[in-house]
Amino acid sequence: MKPRTLAITALSASAVFVASLIAVMFSVYLDTPRASPFNESFSLIDDQGKPVDRSIFKGHPSLVYFGYTHCPEACPTTLYEITGWFAALGEQGRPLKAYFFSIDPERDTQTVMHDYVTAFGDRITGVTGRVQEMKKVAKGWFIHAEKQPADDGNYHMSHTVDLLLVGADGRLKGLIPYGSDQDAALAKIRSLLLSQAKGA
């Protein structure tokens, strides 16, 4: 093989290796809890019309989920599971808050969100508002959310389906992957959120 060919081959292999390494590092980064608290400024409202800003992530541990009311499976399943976790935790889960942020605020108005979250109980707070403001929150938590056309001419949302475990300090402590069984989810909530809240 000629020197020039060898150089090109080596360069190509090196480029592939570097690209793969960056992809792996980025993947690990997304799965690693934030080293710093959430500090993006935003202005939204909850399902009762009360203002919501970044202080919502401070002062108490919380379960944070990004989804939308037209979601066919992941969102209603997750909210149903959250209600079950609260029931299983009982008094131990009293410090815990739960927030459902709409990634589709164009359709998810305050009234729509209120009707939706209250159907699962009274412990989940819906959050909606202006599209650009919601994008700030999603970006701040590294949440993927993208409109995709549907066959009926409407659209659906492709989005991150993992649930965020946020500590009272506003830092991401871990994730509960979609489809986790209840025992595994409760163990994470107790160890990553409630044990710290008890010791605070």
| Rounded-to-integer distance, Cα 59 and Cα 198, Å | 13
> What six digits make up the tokens of 73?
């499976």
Q: Which residues pair with 99 in a beta bridge?
A: 64, 125
- Mean pLDDT score, 101-112: 98
Residue 40 pLDDT grade (very low, low, confident, very high; cuts 50, 70, 90): confident
Structure token digits, residue 127: 């959050």
pLDDT band at residue 199 using 50, 70 and 90 as cut-offs: very low
26 CA to centre of own chain: 17
DSSP-derived letter for residue 106 is T
Closest CA to 61 of 198, 194, 200, 199: 194
What is the CA 108 to chain-centroid distance, rounded? 17
pLDDT in tens, 150-190: 888 899 999 999 999 999 999 999 999 999 999 999 999 99
Residue 129 has pLDDT above 80, yes or no: yes
Rounded-to-integer distance, Cα 74 and Cα 151, Å: 20
Question: Going by C-beta distance under 8 Å and a sequence separation of 6 or more, which residues neighbour residue 113?
Answer: 47, 69, 100, 102, 126, 127, 128
Q: What is the mean pLDDT of the chain?
A: 85
- Provide the 8-state DSSP code for 63: E
Instruction: Please give the average per-residue pLDDT across 16-23, as a whole number.
Output: 36
Instruction: Extract the tokens encoding 77.
Output: 């399943």
